[in-house]
Amino acid sequence: MRIPAIVATVTAAAVMIVGAVLPARAQAFPERPITLVVGASAGGSVDLTARLLADPLSKVLGTAVVVENKTGASGNVATAHVARAKPDGYTLLV
């Protein structure tokens, strides 16, 4: 009995996809502290909100969540800092 060429091709493609996906395992997140960058001065309402979120977030994620204030230019300094950060999810803008 001969297997049709399309079935053999689909089977081979499925085996290659499974073989390529299995070794790729996601890294555990988070592996290091997360930074919440606030574009307002310390003590303001946005800063207070970020600090209120940081504690429960750190408990849920199991890592430190640091609030960093970068004031200036109506939040553009903080936005530029986060935009230049490595896009790995460890630097967030509030």
Answer whether residue 22 shows pLDDT above 60: no
pLDDT 10s digits, 51-76: 999 999 999 888 999 999 999 898 89
**What Å distances lie between residue 15 and 2, 7, 34, 41, CA to CA?**
20, 12, 38, 55
Phi, psi of 36, deg, nearest 5? -100, 115
User: Which domains occur in the chain, in start order?
Assistant: 27-93 (3.40.190.150)
The band of 91, judged by pLDDT with boundaries at 50, 70 and 90, is very high
- Provide the pLDDT for residue 12: 58
Q: What residues pair up with 67 in beta bridges, in sequence order? A: 36
- Provide the pLDDT for residue 31: 87
The band of 15, judged by pLDDT with boundaries at 50, 70 and 90, is low
**What Å distances lie between residue 80 and 19, 28, 56, 68, 83, CA to CA?**
40, 27, 27, 14, 5
The band of 84, judged by pLDDT with boundaries at 50, 70 and 90, is very high
pLDDT 10s digits, 36-45: 999 998 888 8
